[in-house]
Structures are given as C-alpha cells and as structure tokens.
A and B are shown apart, each in its own frame.
Chain A
C-alpha cells in the first residue's frame, strides 16, 4: 500500500490540510508569540496525520504559514533524507502545492527537528522548530500552573540553581541540548533540543524562528533581531560543543557541528547539516555550487 493510495489529492482537503479556523487560531497565537518574544502561547493543537511527538507542533505551524509560492525544506537532526523529514516534506508539498528543496539558500520556510542549518538564514526565511518539551521550568517545577506564575514573575532562581548545581557536581554546565536561554531579556525559553552549538545562531538573527510543541500545545517565537542569551554565570563562559577541530570524513568540511559515527576501534565524523556536506562534495567534484555564508567559520561563531 502506498501513501498515494491512502491519501487524496490536496484539493479535496482544506488548503494546507488544516481547516480555516485552526489556521486562524494558530495565526493569532503566532502574532502574540512574535509580540512577546519567548512567551509560550497556548493553542488547541489539532490532529495531523503523524503521531504526537513526531513534529505535530512544527507541522501545524508550517501548514498554517504555507502558500503555493513557498519553497519548503524539512530537516531532521540536520538531515534532509531521514524518513521523518522525507515524509513531512512530501506531505507538505502534497497538501499545499508548495515546492520542496534540500538547499537552505533556496528555502523560504524551513521546518526542523533539533538543528538550525549551518548557512546563515536571511530575513525572508522562516525557521519552524519542532519542540518536544517547551517548558524550561519543568525540571524544577512540575506544577505547570506554578511554572507559568514563575514566568510571569521572571522567577528563574531555581533554573539558575540547576546550573550552579551542575557546575558544583561536574565542573561545567551539563545541558547538552535545549539550553535555557533568555529571550529579549524577559522570558526564558527552551530553544527546542538544538545543540548548544546552535543557540548563538538565534541571537540577533535576521530570520524569524517559530517554535511549536504539538503534544504540549504551546508555541513561541524569536522575532528577527531579538536577543537570545543562554543563561550563564558572569565568570563561567558559555561553551559550545568542542567540534571546531573535527573533519567530516565524507565532505572534508571542518569547523561545523558533526555527527559521530562509531567505527571499529574509533569514530568517524560527518557534518550534521547533510546538505551542506552534499554541496561541499559537489563543489569538490567541480560543480558550480553556491555555499552560503555560514554562522561558524573554522569552528568560531561569526558576529
């Protein structure tokens, strides 16, 4: 049985799969999210044809924003060719008539799970991040009513305390992903499980970032040119993953975020942004491929 046999052409559905009232509600939520950067806006998350936790939040936002002129890129942990990314991309194009791409530079709308592309995003691009756990306070306050009150009061003492405890126990902050970050000096957000490497890319970025959690029914945003500052002590600097010296064994790229691939007796590294790697290989093979400006150069964030 094929996907085509299970689904109908998009014209038979509401345009973009979601009904108009669902989109209207999400658009209102998006306006509020952009107006109050980092603030979690509740919304009535709809059923979509993938399981909760597989990107339903991101998918609903993307479906709401899509129009036939959009060019969509979908990535999963940096890869365009994973099963989840391929399925979502195919679904999006089927129900919207929008074009699809793997190239970050060509995309106008990028839905991503757990990575921000390595090439710098422009002001005409929108990044939609899928979020499993939108509440940065959940580890310190399981009662969500109290957590919301804490956000209202900017009461982040216990969040800071977790960082203090990590340094006391381990000598460094142990947050590998979803590093709690202060947005616009007011709300702390969980920037989806992007690695620490990617958090600086959101700071004063030219593009709009929308984060949405379908299962938790919350969306929030980082508008263009907004401060996103990881919570760090004044005397303990923020550190990204130590990938600056690693080289991609396929593309030869160096100084980007890498995936570790265990090998017999060691490990090989592969650039996590898979299409950046593909472009590098094609360029090496003599094709005239344009690689955009990247956030990092030789492992150093460019600002």
Chain B
C-alpha cells in the first residue's frame, strides 16, 4: 500500500485541488463523455484507465482546457481562480494553462517544436508566462531538463534529433518548468521500449516524490497506472464505471468491466 493510500482517509477531508463535475461532451453522434465527475487532491496521482475510445484522453484535454465540454464545471483550487474554469474566455484559459497546468502528450510532435532546440522548447513555456531575462530562461530550462534527467550536453539539440524517450523528457521538462499546480500525462510511455518506459516512470515517480506535484495520468497500460497512481478511475464508453484507491481497484475490482481489464492484463 502506498503512503498516500494509507493517508487517504485524511486526504479526502481536504478540499480537492481539482474538481471536475458533470462533464459531458458529444462529437456528432458520439458521446465521448457522459456526466463525468472526478476529484484530485493536492499531491495525489490520479490514474485514468480504460480501453481506446473510453473518453480518458478527452477528459484530459478538458482538464488542459484545450477543449470545452457541452456541460459541466471545472474548479482548480488555487487562489484567485473562478469557480468554473470552463467559463473563462479563450485567452484567460490559455494564460491559466500556461501558468498552472503542464501536460505531456503521447505524441511528442503534439507538445514540442521539433526543429527548435530542446532548451528552447522549455524556454518557450517561460516566455509565454512573461519571463524576459535570457540568463534566467537559460538557467530555468537547464534546471527543468536536469530534473527530467535529460543529458544537459544535448540541451540545445532539437527534439527531431532525439530518441522517443529523450523527447518525452523534453516534454516533461517543458511541463514542469513553471512548477505547475497540476501535471497531466497522456499515455506518456506509450511507444517507448520497456527499459526506456521504466526510466521515464522512475523520473516521474521521483518528481512526484520530491516536488509533490499533483498528477493525472491517462494510460491504457494498467502496469503504468499501478506503478504511478494513488487512486484510479476506470472509464468505459464515456462514463466512470469504477473509482477507488489503486491497490483496492487492482486487487478487488468490483465492476465486471474492471475485472475484465485487470484479468486481461495480469
């Protein structure tokens, strides 16, 4: 049992850092999310699992304010923020994301400028937030890349020249450069070979342990979720079918779909 799982009864008495309530989204005839609710407490890692098309990445995109739902609310428990982030205008959403939310995409092409330097990719995040001192940009980019265990002698190489694992580390450095309140990870290890996957997961775990970053991680790989998450929600066809502490869900799944997932994997 993880430390957080042991702490869980105390944790749930605190107001959550992230609160998503009643989020629904339709794309044409397809209901991607159906009244989904989820909470994440400060310092916690929430895992979202489900098969392809279950709505987990859509939910993550909503949390990153890249897309807006048809219904629902989103609260981030930080001072000065409104009760529903979905109600903000596009510019305010963009600034809020730049400052408070980091994301690592499954596909590095999505999150990185492949032909700019790796340090530049991290610096861009700081530039958007208004940093205008070159020396500070350089130091912070170096620090974030170092924290992501990226080899600093390659910090000015473009991601296009790096391996998949290195690209994910650049994405991670970019995501944590501003020490965001919330880090979103969308299948961060998919497509990496097993040894690189383990290294990236180790880095994520160390970051979480050292910095107590609140994380939401989406993966279809239950092994990744089991390694990382304190709590898990299981999604199927746009609905949350089961929710609980990670150990509890994996050891004693209640919903038939979760049982099927767990047994198929283990």
- Which A residues are closer than 8 A to B by beta carbons? 153, 155, 157-158, 160-161, 164-165, 167-169, 233-236
Query: A158-B113, A158-B124 are known contacts. Are A233 and B90 too (CB-CB below 8 A)?
Result: no
- Which B residues are closer than 8 A to A by beta carbons? 90-91, 94, 113, 116-117, 119-120, 123-124, 127-128, 132-135, 137-138, 156
Partner of B156, one of A158, A168, A236: A168
On whether the beta carbons of B127 and A160 are closer than 8 Å, the reply is yes
Question: Once bound together, how far apart are the Cα atoms of A112 and B146, in whole Å?
Answer: 50
B residues near A235, Cβ cutoff 8 Å: 133-135
**B121 to chain A: closest residue by CB:** A161
Supplied contacts A161-B124, A234-B132, 5 more A-B pairs, CB within 8 Å: A161-B116, A165-B116, A168-B117, A233-B132, A235-B135
**A152 to chain B: closest residue by CB:** B91
Question: Once bound together, how far apart are the Cα atoms of A158 and B98, in whole Å?
Answer: 13
Query: Interface on chain B toward A: helix, strand, loop, or mixed SS?
Result: helix
A residues near B90, Cβ cutoff 8 Å: 153
**B119 to chain A: closest residue by CB:** A168
A-B contact pairs, 30 of them (CB 8 A): A153-B91, A153-B94, A157-B124, A157-B127, A157-B128, A158-B113, A160-B124, A161-B113, A161-B116, A161-B123, A161-B124, A161-B127, A164-B123, A164-B127, A164-B137, A165-B116, A165-B120, A167-B134, A168-B117, A168-B138, A168-B156, A169-B156, A233-B132, A233-B133, A234-B132, A234-B133, A234-B134, A235-B133, A235-B134, A236-B134
A residues near B133, Cβ cutoff 8 Å: 233-235
Question: Once bound together, how far apart are the Cα atoms of A233 and B133, in whole Å?
Answer: 5
Question: Once bound together, how far apart are the Cα atoms of A252 and B117, in whole Å?
Answer: 46
**B94 to chain A: closest residue by CB:** A153
B residues near A165, Cβ cutoff 8 Å: 116-117, 120
On whether the beta carbons of B94 and A164 are closer than 8 Å, the reply is no
A residues near B94, Cβ cutoff 8 Å: 153, 155
On whether the beta carbons of B91 and A164 are closer than 8 Å, the reply is no
B residues near A155, Cβ cutoff 8 Å: 94, 128
